[in-house]
């Protein structure tokens, strides 16, 4: 990994890797998203999460996929996305940032469809996971051009150094109770295949998609297997999905991880 990436990660809490995935790989991701959604309703509970405006029938969409907010924990349920967790380019960066023992803590496709999407409020990912020490980071990989207008990532450089700020709210509305202003934010436009790599305690936000184009992305969170899970700090109890490298040492694992012989979609 470029040494400059590591320095920026330490100081600013993020860096950008152009063309982390090839366009053929991005196309395969988009095709797999459609394949999974087309299996609705014969899918594991919680895999598909719809946009709130669609759920409340305040907005209508032409196809189910155009109303999906996210596919959640896809590596647990879908073989294609489980294999992506072992991609050489992702694993190389993960080893450089957090060491030899790697867990895939969470995997999602973030759909941000036009017309119906809502914001994802300011938050820190480790406010959900509560790992200590915070040896956790995320890949946010664009599958479509991500622009300011269609909801690209906004972040607050250096905010990972201050620890976890106070968060409150249910579900996707769980966020920082005193969020920064947009004037303080740096926007991260990306081309398909580009990746934002960001610390698990970096404050970030995405606005609604205000265009007629799609803004799909894949987000994978990797954690060190040597971290501990703090208890009793929020309503969430996220457990890792896949052991990627080394031994699984994370404390308080209460559900089985995906193994190679498990039947997936």
Give per-residue pLDDT as tens, 159-206: 999 999 999 999 889 999 999 999 999 999 999 999 999 999 999 999
Angle between helices 88-98 and 3-12 (to 10 degrees): 60
When divided into structural domains, the chain yields a total of 1
Residue 39 located in a structural domain: yes
Structural domain includes residue 255: no
Query: What whole-number distance in Å separates Cα of residue 225 and Cα of residue 229?
Result: 10
Q: Note whether residue 253 is domain-resident.
A: no
The pLDDT tens digits of the residues spanning 113-145 come to 999 999 999 999 999 999 989 999 999 999 999
Q: Domain range spanning residue 241? A: 3-245
Residue 91: is its pLDDT beyond 50? yes
Q: Please list the residues that pair with 198 across neighbouring strands.
A: 14, 138
Cβ atoms 107, 77 nearer than 8 A: no
> Domain of 220: which CATH number?
2.60.120.620
d(CA 36, CA 44) in angstroms, rounded, equals 11
Residue 163 lies in a domain: yes
pLDDT score for 222: 97
Domain contains 118: yes
What is the SS3 assignment for 58? coil
Mean per-residue pLDDT of the chain: 92
Give a yes or no: residue 173 inside a domain.
yes
């Amino acid at each position: 990994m470029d040494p400059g990436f590591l320095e920026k990660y330490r100081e600013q809490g993020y860096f950008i890797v152009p063309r982390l995935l090839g366009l053929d790989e991005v196309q395969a991701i988009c095709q797999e998203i459609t394949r999974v959604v087309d299996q609705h309703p014969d899918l594991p509970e919680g895999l598909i999460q719809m946009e709130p405006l669609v759920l409340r029938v305040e907005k209508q969409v032409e196809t189910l996929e155009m109303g999906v907010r996210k596919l959640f924990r896809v590596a647990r349920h879908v073989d294609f996305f489980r294999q992506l967790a072992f991609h050489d380019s992702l694993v190389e960066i993960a080893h450089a940032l957090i060491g030899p023992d790697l867990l895939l803590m969470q995997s999602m496709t973030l759909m941000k469809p036009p017309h119906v999407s809502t914001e994802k409020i300011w938050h820190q990912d480790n406010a959900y996971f509560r790992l200590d020490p915070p040896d956790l980071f995320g890949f946010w990989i664009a599958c479509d051009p991500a622009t300011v207008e269609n909801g690209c990532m906004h972040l607050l450089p250096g905010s990972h150094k201050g620890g976890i700020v106070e968060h409150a709210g249910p579900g996707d509305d769980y966020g920082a109770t005193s969020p920064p202003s947009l004037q303080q934010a740096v926007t991260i436009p990306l081309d398909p295949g580009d990746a934002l790599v960001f610390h698990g305690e970096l404050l970030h936000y995405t606005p609604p998609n205000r265009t007629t184009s799609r803004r799909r992305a894949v987000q994978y969170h990797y954690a060190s297997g040597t971290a501990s899970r703090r208890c009793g700090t929020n309503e969430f109890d996220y457990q890792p999905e896949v052991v990627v490298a080394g031994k699984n040492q994370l404390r308080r694992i209460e559900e089985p991880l995906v193994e190679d012989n498990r039947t997936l979609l």
